[in-house]
Amino acid sequence: MTSNQWVGWGLTVFIGGLTCIATLVAGAEHPARPLVASSVAVCLFGLGMAARGARMRSPQPNISIARAVDYLVNYSTAVLESNPPPHLETFGPAKGRLVCEVGRPQADALRKIEEQLGFGTLCAFGRRALDASLDDPSNFDSVLKIIPREYWDGGTLHPLFAPIHESAHAQTAVRSGSGGHALYARVMLDRTQLHRVWPRKPIWRRFWERVKRRKPRTRE
C-alpha cells in the first residue's frame, strides 16, 4: 500500500475502535472488560498503521537550508556548539578591544544537516547545474530534483551560500580531490524528516531561552 493508504486505513481502524468503545460504554452499565480491551487494541493498531504511513510518505522540498539552520539553532533539541564568551584581543588591529565571536551554532547546525544527508536520514532537493564548472543563475535547471545520497560522499553544503535563503549561487560545493560532481542551487529539505531527527523544543523552554537571550536569532 502507499503511504496515503496506510494513513487512511489506520485512521479508519482507529475511528472504528473508538466507536466500539463508545458503544460499549453507553450501552451497558458495566461493559465487558475483554471487549473494551479489544477495542483499545484496535485503536492502537490503527494509530500504528497511520504512523507507518506517515513514515512512508515521499519527502517533500518544503524548507530551505537557511530555515533549517534557524530551526536547529533556535527551536530544536539539537545540541550545538555555543559561541565563546567575549574576550580582549591580544594582538592585531583589534588588540585591547572586546571581541565577540558569533556564528558557531549556525556552522555546527550546517555540519549536522550535512552529516544526516550523508547517512540518508535526510533527503535534499536542488536545481542541478547544467555545466558543473559554471556557477551562474542561468546555468541551473528550473526543476527541483532529488539529490542522490551518494552525492554527499564527495559533495558538501557551501558554508557561505547554503545558509542564505533564496541564494542565486550554488549552495553545494565539491570536496577537494573527490572528482567531478554537479553543483546544486536552491537546496531544500523535508520538514517532517528534519523534525523527526531533531524534535522541537517545548514552548516553555523556547520562551525561557528567548527571555535569557541565550541563543541568537539567525538572519536570512
pLDDT band at 3 (very low <50, low <70, confident <90, very high): low
Average pLDDT for 100-109: 86
d(CA 168, CA 139): 10
What confidence score (pLDDT) does residue 47 get? Answer: 66
Q: Between these two residues, 38 and 5, which has the higher pLDDT value?
A: 38
Contact 6, 56 (CB under 8 A): yes
Claim: this prediction has a pTM higher than 0.85:
no
Distances (CA, A) of 149 to 42, 116, 143, 153, 216: 38, 10, 18, 8, 31
Please count the CA atoms within 13 angstroms of the CA of 126 that sit on its side-chain side.
31
Give pLDDT tens digits for 144-193. 999 999 999 989 999 888 888 777 788 998 887 665 578 899 999 999 99
Strand partners, 173: 156
The 3-state DSSP composition of the chain as helix, strand, coil percent (nearest 5) reads 45, 15, 40
Assigned C-alpha cell, 82:
555555543
Q: How many C-beta atoms surround the C-beta of residue 146 within 10 A?
A: 13
What confidence score (pLDDT) does residue 151 get? Answer: 92
